[in-house]
Amino acid sequence: MKSLFIVAGCLLSAGCGYVAEHSAPRKQAATTRTQAATRADELFWTTLHGGQYEQIQPALEALTGAYLASPTDAVTAAHIGWLHIWRVGESHRLASVPATITDDAVLARRYFQEAVALHPGEARYLGFLASATLAEGAINKDERVTRHGYFLMLDAINAWPEFNLFTAGYVMSAQPADSGNFKRALAWEWKDLDACVDQKVDRKDPDFTRFMHLATSEGKKRVCWNTWIAPHNFEGFFLNMGDMAVKAGDWQLGRKLYQNARLSPSYGQWLYREVLEQRIREAPDNGALYNAPSEAKVTADKQMMINSSFACVACHQQ
């Protein structure tokens, strides 16, 4: 009889813990921003638009300090997550990559999770959360986490196709070319183009010349073009998609996709235009390099965009 009371007490205690946790009030998003948050944002954009990878830590210090003073600011949380994902995403810049770089993926996921909780209607945050979750799952070889990230990404695509079809395809472009995940990633990039112009783009001759009049800086389709946030988004998109086509074994198609980047009015100011021009010249030979095993010694300039030192700044650096 005594043991029954003990068991009952344990169950009651567990039940109380569940009720207490799930009845706790949710954090409410801030309706105003602090001066510290605004100043930290300015530093964030200066660092990102300047391609100042080496200044990520000072920017993180400012943003994290602002977040700790106002931990209900979704924008600050998202920018912290972005800096962490940038640091791990372009870790190829480092002469020696520390094992602890993987902590940035964990922190990115945590801060994007906070940003989504505070602003659940922001589909960009959801796409970044999915990306960071997929990265964390891959690092830890945790299939459950990976699957969770994948279905988060599907939700993000449904919420904002023009933005998150690219995010999804880009994140998975590092997968083996013969894998289902890579084929799905390339299909998502094509669907993104379709969504941006509201029609099916020719899969054999994707010349974007006839669509350039659709460029806009307003509405959801603004993310298909160059904006203040991503001043060379258009060029970076076709650099990546060209890489993916070459990796898939069709270097002729890859060249056509690369050439679309030249249509951008700001192509002449793009810091990575010579990277793209080199890709065009060397497309017939690059497929083997993009499919080389991870342990192969492939120089930085021969890496796919997703594995390069400009994985983020090709779109965001001014």
- Residues 236-247: pLDDT tens digits? 999 999 999 999
Q: Where are the domains of the chain?
A: 36-159, 180-318
> Which three-class secondary structure state does DSSP give residue 33?
coil
Q: Which residues of 173-204 are buried (b: 16+ CB within 10 A; e: fewer)?
A: bbbebeeeebeebbebbbbbbebbeeeebeee
What percent of the chain has a predicted confidence (pLDDT) above 70?
94
pLDDT value of residue 26: 81
pLDDT value of residue 7: 45
- Residues 158-198: pLDDT tens digits? 999 999 999 999 999 999 999 999 999 999 999 999 999 99
For residues 88 and 135, the answer to whether their CB atoms sit within 8 Å is: yes
36-159 falls under which CATH superfamily? Answer: Tetratricopeptide repeat domain (1.25.40.10)
Q: Which residue has the higher pLDDT, 223 or 20?
A: 223
Crossing angle for the helix pair 180-197 and 233-247, to the nearest 10 degrees: 140
Residue 265: count of CB within 10 angstroms of its CB: 10
pLDDT value of residue 295: 67
State whether the Cα torsion 112-306-227-62 is positive or negative: positive
pLDDT value of residue 1: 52
C-alpha dihedral, 200 to 201 to 205 to 209, nearest 10°: 140
pLDDT value of residue 60: 98
pLDDT value of residue 10: 53
For the cut 70, the answer to whether the pLDDT of residue 203 exceeds it is yes
- Residues 114-153: pLDDT tens digits? 999 999 999 999 999 999 999 999 999 999 999 999 999 9
What percent of the chain has a predicted confidence (pLDDT) above 90?
86
For the cut 70, the answer to whether the pLDDT of residue 42 exceeds it is yes
pLDDT value of residue 175: 95
pLDDT value of residue 31: 83
For residues 169 and 244, the answer to whether their CB atoms sit within 8 Å is: yes
For the cut 80, the answer to whether the pLDDT of residue 232 exceeds it is yes
Average pLDDT of the residues of the chain: 93
